[in-house]
Amino acid sequence: MGLDTSWKSDWFDVAVRRLRGASDKLELKKTQRLEEAKSRTHIVVRTRWILLSFVGVYCVMAGGFFYFSRFGLFLSPSQHILLLAALAAVVCYNLLLQFSRDRLARGFRLLNFLQIILDLVLVSVLIHTSGGAASWFWPAYLFVTIEASFLIEDRREVWLVGGLGGLLYGAVLVLEHLNIVPYVRMPFVGSELHHDHLYLLLTWLWVSLLNAAMAAIASYFMTVIRRETDAVREGEERLATFLDTANDLIHSVTPDGRLLYVNEAWQRTLGYSAEEADAVPFFDILHPDSREQCCAELQRVVSGDALSPMEAVFTAKDGRSVIVEGSLSCAHGGDESSVIWSICRDITERKHAEEQLYRLAHHDTLTGLPNRILFMDRLQQAKALANRYRYQVAVLFLDLDRFKIINDTLGHPVGDHLLQQVAHRIAGCVREVDTVARIGGDEFTIILVNVDTVEDVKRMGQKILKTLAAPFNIDTHELFVTASIGISLFPSDGDNLDQLVKKADIAMYCVKGEGRNNVQFYSPQMDANADKRLLLETSLRKALDNREFRVYYQPKVDIVSKRITAMEALIRWDHPILGLVSPGEFIPLAEETGLIIPIGEWVLRAACFQNCEWVRQGIPPMRVAVNLSGYQFQQKNLLETIRGILDETGLTADLLELEITESVIMQNPDFAVSVLNQLRDLGVHISIDDFGIGYSSLAHLKRFSVNTLKIDKSFVRDVEINSADAAIATAIIAMGNSLNLKVIAEGVETEGQLSFLSDNKCDEVQGYLFSTPMPPEKVAEFMREHGRSAGRG
């Protein structure tokens, strides 16, 4: 079993970082100490120039006075040379220190001692040349001692320098007293002073004690000063560390936009180094959208106004927009030396999160369209503008037809992709000022603003339907979608927004009840239909248990022999309150509620039982045709259900005909091919109902295992007077004949229609011309009255 050593690696990384940090700090401290030593040397050099200037001026003045006095210039040539050499030496090494201090990075401590010793020696030389024991130049030792306390940090070493100064002065006095070095005879001074032991001793003691006292006092003062300086520096370092380690962005700027300081968080966030920030104007870093506001706020804070926290947008070095929130303060008044400090934090991610939350709260996550909340807000705005400019507003309620079938059969991922493409197509139909929203499932709502006429709204609805009519290619599936659209108008349909949406919804359901794939405007009469719909929906759930459904039958007739080839089973609802309800009113409700599955199975079972009963009554065998709902067709257990009902009723498969609408088959042609092949193998007769109103092509028909094409009654109704309908009917008949398929026309009500169909070689007909739908007990009587023999088609 392996051991987890990741903690060791983490600990080692942390330790290495800390050691590196400590090493960097130590190196930085050394560098700072070195820079401080250089700075002190530079100060001493400048001070020495000042002192030399005064000494030089005094020497010139004193020399001039003596030159024109009775004493004259009393120095010997060798003494002149020694004096000038000492002064030249001071000038030389002072120049060397001034111009070479940056190159003298190492040995600064030794260099400090060296220059102090040189100063002491040269002061001693100057004292000698200016009279020795009688010289008035001895206070220069005090200046050197002060210089030593400034350059040398150790107090004991400063005391040593003070003592060394006293020793050198004593050495000069002793050497002159012993005539080892001849003393300089000074005017006004007796030569006996150079040989008076008591005078020499007292003078030496006075100078030595003053020098020692100056060393103690100066070193004490410098110690205090250094301690306070270190405290200030440490405070500044702590402040700088705090500012640099702060997560907030901190910077200072002058009123004219020159950046003085930026912390590490500022540099890290905006991508500028401290050096680059010095060269970039602050106003150039501001985003153009924030520049005017920030300039005004800077002027206000300089003038002393109190500001509340504000937001601004910076432009990073790489072009990113960084949103910040913070406050401003001014270090001084309103003069030119004012410094404005800003502390702010990066809220870009927070702003993006807020925008995302707002979008999630107001937009549909699947399609990206506005959701119900944002839709109602846009509708409120549209209403306000319409009131102001006297325009109309149209609310369109769109629902996809039979979308649940796609979800149930192909899965929700395919359904989601379809909804996304539908949303994209709808949004592409409207103007930018209009709003398209998804309020749930397959329901979409549309706001059309600035509406002039009702015809404009109708054209928009038709445009949307036409756009959705084109096939959708999703993965490997080719899907066809239709939609039902209901429309309400403001202000003609009321000014209550919820009612406007509800009325558009009511109009949409009227479209559903009238065959789908159309556009309908709301009218007050629809409210009664809505109440009726609610009653139907409520009682539909109990209708099957209460045995309120009835099955009626309508014959299919061979157009040549006039014999009956099949009976189509048509469901009716005998409602206890409303009476007989047609399928067009309750079938869409059954599909929406999912009750179409048990209702469809009940109809299929009842029709099969009834066909067997007719056979037992002596009626020759004939097919019974049952309409198969799209929801039933998409059920995975459809084949098992049909096989089970056939076994249960005893009806053979060849006496069962299933009618499936063209639009259902074409919603998913690949799936339809598979199911139809299985039904064909079972022996069931297949008929495509409502043919001609969908999207079938010859290529698709060749793939389907069907037996019959059923021409929709909308094309049969006007074949005598409408050339277009006649052409479509003729084309369908020709297509069926070419594919060796039976063709049956429904809705035949006149002899003229029958004659047209017969002339164009239509195989079968169905309609009121032969019989209305009848209850099962009248079928036998109908067959006997017509004297037809029923047989297989």
State in Å, rounded, how far the first CA of the chain is from the last one. Answer: 79
pLDDT surpasses 50 at 6: no
The answer to whether 685 and 658 are in contact (CB under 8 A) is yes
Of 63-77, 238-252, 528-542, 589-603, which range is least confident? 63-77
pLDDT surpasses 60 at 106: no
CB crowding 317-329: b at 16 or more within 10 Å, else e: eeeeebbbebebe
The pLDDT assigned to 259 comes to 87
Which helix H or strand E contains 572, and what residues bound it? Answer: strand 564-575
Phi (first) and psi of residue 435, to 5 degrees? -130, 130
Which helix H or strand E contains 655, and what residues bound it? Answer: none
The answer to whether 402 and 664 are in contact (CB under 8 A) is yes
Residues 22-46, mean pLDDT to the nearest whole number: 67
Highest mean pLDDT among 73-87, 89-103, 629-643, 747-761: 747-761
pLDDT surpasses 50 at 716: yes
Cα–Cα distance measured from residue 764 to residue 792, given in angstroms and rounded to the nearest whole number:
13
DSSP character string of 27-88: HHHHHHHHHHHHHHHHHHHHHHHHHHHHHHHHHHHHHHHHHTSSS-----HHHHHHHHHHHH
Measured CA angle at 416 (ends 410, 419), to 5 deg: 110
The pLDDT assigned to 601 comes to 93
Count of C-beta atoms within a 10 Å radius of residue 131: 22
Highest mean pLDDT among 352-361, 507-516, 535-544, 562-571: 562-571
Q: Is the peptide bond before 491 cis (omega within 30 degrees of 0)?
A: yes
Q: Supply the CATH classification number for the domain 363-523.
A: 3.30.70.270
pLDDT band at 18 (very low <50, low <70, confident <90, very high): very low
Question: Which has more confidence, 211 or 93?
Answer: 211
Question: Which has more confidence, 188 or 477?
Answer: 477
The answer to whether 429 and 461 are in contact (CB under 8 A) is no
pLDDT over 90, % of the chain: 26
pLDDT surpasses 90 at 308: no
Q: Supply the CATH classification number for the domain 246-354.
A: 3.30.450.20
Of 72-86, 505-519, 635-649, which range is least confident? 72-86
The pLDDT assigned to 475 comes to 84
Instruction: Provide the 8-state DSSP code for 158.
Output: H
Of 297-301, 625-629, 766-770, which range is least confident? 297-301
The answer to whether 97 and 115 are in contact (CB under 8 A) is yes
Query: What average pLDDT does the chain have?
Result: 83
Count of C-beta atoms within a 10 Å radius of residue 268: 12
Of 658, 645, 653, residue with least CA distance to 609:
645
pLDDT band at 714 (very low <50, low <70, confident <90, very high): confident
Helix ranges, 620-750 (H): 630-633, 638-649, 662-667, 669-682, 698-703, 713-716, 723-738
Q: Supply the CATH classification number for the domain 547-786.
A: 3.20.20.450
* Residues contacting 672, CB < 8 A, separation 6+: 633, 664, 665, 666, 704
Instruction: Provide the 8-state DSSP code for 520.
Output: E
pLDDT band at 787 (very low <50, low <70, confident <90, very high): low
Cα–Cα distance measured from residue 485 to residue 184, given in angstroms and rounded to the nearest whole number:
125
Measured CA angle at 464 (ends 430, 523), to 5 deg: 95
Cα–Cα distance measured from residue 430 to residue 423, given in angstroms and rounded to the nearest whole number:
11
* Residues contacting 493, CB < 8 A, separation 6+: 499, 500, 503, 522
Residues 229-236, mean pLDDT to the nearest whole number: 82
pLDDT surpasses 90 at 589: no
Amino acid, res. 489 = L
Instruction: Provide the 8-state DSSP code for 363.
Output: B
pLDDT band at 19 (very low <50, low <70, confident <90, very high): very low
Count of C-beta atoms within a 10 Å radius of residue 255: 18
The answer to whether 463 and 473 are in contact (CB under 8 A) is no
Phi (first) and psi of residue 502, to 5 degrees? -65, -40
Cα–Cα distance measured from residue 488 to residue 508, given in angstroms and rounded to the nearest whole number:
10
pLDDT surpasses 70 at 340: yes
Token readout for 93 is 């090494």
The pLDDT assigned to 742 comes to 92
Q: Name beta bridge partners: 657.
A: 625, 685
| 0.85 surpassed by pTM | no
pLDDT band at 502 (very low <50, low <70, confident <90, very high): very high
Amino acid, res. 341 = W
Instruction: Provide the 8-state DSSP code for 712.
Output: -
The pLDDT assigned to 572 comes to 92
Taking only the tens place, the pLDDT of each residue in 406-443 is 887 788 899 999 999 999 999 999 999 999 999 988 99
The pLDDT assigned to 293 comes to 84
10 Å CB burial of residue 189 (0-12, 13-18, 19+) is middle
The pLDDT assigned to 336 comes to 56
The secondary structure of 450-505, three-state, reads: EECCHHHHHHHHHHHHHHHHCCEEECCEEECCCEEEEEEEECCCCCCHHHHHHHHH
Q: Name beta bridge partners: 551.
A: 571
The pLDDT assigned to 102 comes to 59
Measured CA angle at 275 (ends 274, 279), to 5 deg: 110
Q: Where are the domains positioned within the chain? A: 32-237, 246-354, 363-523, 547-786
Taking only the tens place, the pLDDT of each residue in 353-411 is 888 888 888 899 899 999 999 999 999 999 999 998 888 999 999 999 878 878 877 88
The pLDDT assigned to 251 comes to 86
The pLDDT assigned to 371 comes to 92
Helix ranges, 103-195 (H): 108-129, 140-151, 155-177
The pLDDT assigned to 606 comes to 94
Question: Which has more confidence, 485 or 530?
Answer: 485
Taking only the tens place, the pLDDT of each residue in 152-178 is 878 888 888 888 888 888 888 888 888
Token readout for 128 is 């000698």
pLDDT band at 30 (very low <50, low <70, confident <90, very high): low
Question: Which has more confidence, 223 or 191?
Answer: 223
CA distances (Å), 74 to each of 38, 130, 570, in order?
41, 10, 150
